[in-house]
Amino acid sequence: MNDAIRAQFPALSATVHGRPLVWLDSAATAHKPMAVLDAMNVAAATSYANVHRGVHELAVRATAAYEGARADVARFLGDVDVRDVVFTRGTTESLNLVARAWGDRHLRAGSRVLVGQMEHHSAIVPWQEAAKRAGAELVAIPFTADAVYDLERYAQLLEGGAAVVVVAHASNAFGTVHPVAKMAAMAHSVGAKVVVDGAQGAVHGPPRVAELGADFYALSGHKLYGPTGIGVLWARPDAWEETPPFLHGGEMIRSVRFSGTTYADRPARYEAGTPPILEAIGLGAAIRWLEGVGWNAIVAHETGLTAYLLDALDTVPGLTWIGRGAPRVPLASFVLDGIHPHDVGSVLDREGIAVRTGHHCAQPAMEAMGRVATTRASLGVTSVPGDVDALVAGLAVVRRRLG
Ligand code: PLP
């Protein structure tokens, strides 16, 4: 399937340092198929206007395309109600929305906020700030050396009570998929809300958010083969009912008087100002493109290639692959004995190979693993076994030059 798919991604035919690009950084951001670029171009050229505001033809077309994208997202999330799907600028903004709006309304002095220790800074810092504002306590949920949450410790932490539990669907630092449904059921049994960071988990199969047990679920368009500047926050109706508006301004109101303002129903209530119209249309196109490829085929392809990557890494002398738990999304974090990950990344770059190096915006996760940084190779729908072979050959070059 992959030659035909790769041919649809113009960025993948780039050369870097005179070599063909090997893209192993899909977890940071994914390249875009022509279907997405075309959808945005066509919308800009033929159907562009501000949405929800005009009576003229272009406003009608733009609004239909924007709301069509919302319907695409609702289908992707497991046929949820479109009214529960709010467009944001990305996972970070979605998570800030929940921490600011829901958190500031519901956290009290002494409330406990349980956040996974493996999580991305976007899932930790907004809650750290919300906890500070409320006088609440931020508590880390520990994980094991396999990058799996320690459910016994988690159960003990819940016994002390929790207002909210924040956990990713899958770890961007190590690739493990967390037992969200189980963790959510445990959280709900003590009355806690569950916020799920789906930035990585949503990319490798449609997340059936309601079945996962999430109260809030956040994702970013750019990791899902869509554009930057667009993300999603889904919440259960009862969780939305408990969430006041986050940003205030045009579009999100019903009526404004100097004596007071009333707000529109959701989703408009949470989409103040002109939204990222073309970006939402691009995200809708990305979801339709993925559906066209077929999720079963994508999952089978990525599962096979992940096994190939992990087996290949195990053959590299002096390489330690970190956080080996299962199930996994298609990425691996590793270190080479005696060589700093940034140096690994720089030598690989000269070979045309793009990997991510550093703390992956998850410093507490790295610290708990006793590392400051790793090299991360991540795969996606466009990846092929040749990318993995190139990585292994590139790591041999790293060893020759720096080892
Ligand atoms: N959460 C996780 C698990 C991520 O991997 C990322 C991005 O790398 C984010 C949150 C933040 O996403 P964004 O930068 O698109 O807001």
DSSP 124-139: HHHHHHHHHHHT-EEE
Average pLDDT rounded to a whole number, residues 13-40: 97
DSSP state of 348: H
Indicate if 65 and 205 belong to the same structural domain. yes
The length of the chain in residues reads 403
> What residues make up the domain containing 317?
3-31+294-402
Centroid of ligand 1 to alpha carbon of 91 (angstroms): 6
299 and 286 within one domain: no
Ligand 1 binding residues, C-beta < 6 A = 90-92, 120, 122-123, 168, 172, 197, 199-200, 220
Same domain, 178 and 257: yes
Minimum-distance ligand 1 atom for the alpha carbon of 223: 15
User: Tokens 């961007």, residue?
Assistant: 172
Domain end residue (candidates: 254, 270, 291): 291
Instruction: Provide the angle, in degrees to the nearest 10, between the axes of the packed helices 295-314 and 277-293.
Output: 80
184 burial via Cβ count (<10 Å: 0-12, 13-18, 19+): buried
- The residue from 361, 388, 390, 398 that is catalytic is 361
**What do you get for the CA distance between the two ends of the chain, in Å?**
37
Pairing verdict, β 193-197 and 231-235:
unpaired
Asked if 255 and 303 sit in the same domain, the reply is: no
DSSP 356-389: EEE-TT-HHHHHHTT-S-EEEEE--TT--HHHHH
Q: What is the pLDDT of residue 2?
A: 80
Quickly state the pLDDT bin for 1 (edges 50, 70, 90). low
- Say if residue 68 is in the same domain as residue 205: yes
Pair 69, 172 in one domain: yes
| Over residues 353-382, mean pLDDT | 96
Sequence-ordered list of residues with C-beta below 8 angstroms from that of 252, at least 6 positions apart, any chain: 245, 263, 264, 268, 269, 270, 271, 272
Q: How many helices (H) and strands (E) does the chain have?
A: 15, 17
Q: Are residues 15 and 65 in the same domain?
A: no
Q: Which of 266, 218, 262 is nearest to 238 (CA)?
A: 266
Q: Do 263 and 388 have their domain in common? A: no
For 92-142, write each residue's pLDDT tens digit.
999 999 999 999 999 999 999 999 999 999 999 999 999 999 999 999 999
DSSP 326: S
Q: How far is the CA of 122 from the centre of ligand 1 (A)?
A: 7
Omega before 385 within 30 of 0, i.e. cis: no
The reported pLDDT for the residue numbered 403 is 76
Instruction: Report the SS3 class of residue 211.
Output: helix
CB of 87 closer than 8 Å to CB of 113 = no
User: Is residue 361 annotated as part of the catalytic site, yes or no?
Assistant: yes
> Would you state the structure tokens that stand for residue 175, as one six-digit string?
């690739």
Take atom 4 of ligand 1 and give the residue whose Cα is closest: 199
Of 269, 291, 313, the residue that ends a domain is 291
CATH of the domain at 332: 3.90.1150.10
Residue 198 shares a structural domain with residue 50: yes
Which segments within 176-269 are labelled E, that is strand?
193-197, 216-220, 231-235, 253-257, 260-263
**Residues 276 and 351 grouped into a single domain:** no
Domain count, the chain: 2
Amino acid identity of 288? R
Q: How confident is the model at residue 298 (pLDDT cuts 50, 70, 90)?
A: very high
Among 91, 22, 69, CA closest to 380: 22
Question: Distance, CA 181 to ligand 1 centroid (Å)?
Answer: 21
111 and 249 belong to one structural domain: yes
Q: Rounded to whole angstroms, how far apart are CA atoms 241 and 10?
A: 43
Tell me the CATH number at 127.
3.40.640.10
- Find out whether the peptide bond into 267 is cis, omega within 30 degrees of 0: yes
Give residue-wise pLDDT tens across range 237-291: 999 999 999 999 999 999 999 999 999 999 999 999 999 999 999 999 999 999 9
| Claim to verify: residue 270 and residue 389 sit in the same structural domain | no
Q: Which of 268, 291, 314 is the last residue of a domain?
A: 291
Closest CA to 102 of 120, 118, 82, 86: 86
Going from the Cα of 27 to the center of ligand 1, the distance in angstroms, rounded, reads 9
Pocket test for ligand 1, best of 166, 171, 172 (most atoms within 8 A of CB): 172
Residue to mutate (ligand 1; options 118, 220, 359; most atoms within 8 A of CB): 220
Give the percent of the chain with pLDDT over 90.
98
The answer on pLDDT for 207 being more than 90 is: yes
pLDDT, one tens digit per residue, over 45-99 is: 999 999 998 889 999 999 999 999 999 999 999 999 999 999 999 999 999 999 9
Other C-beta atoms lying within 10 Å of the C-beta of residue 92: 21
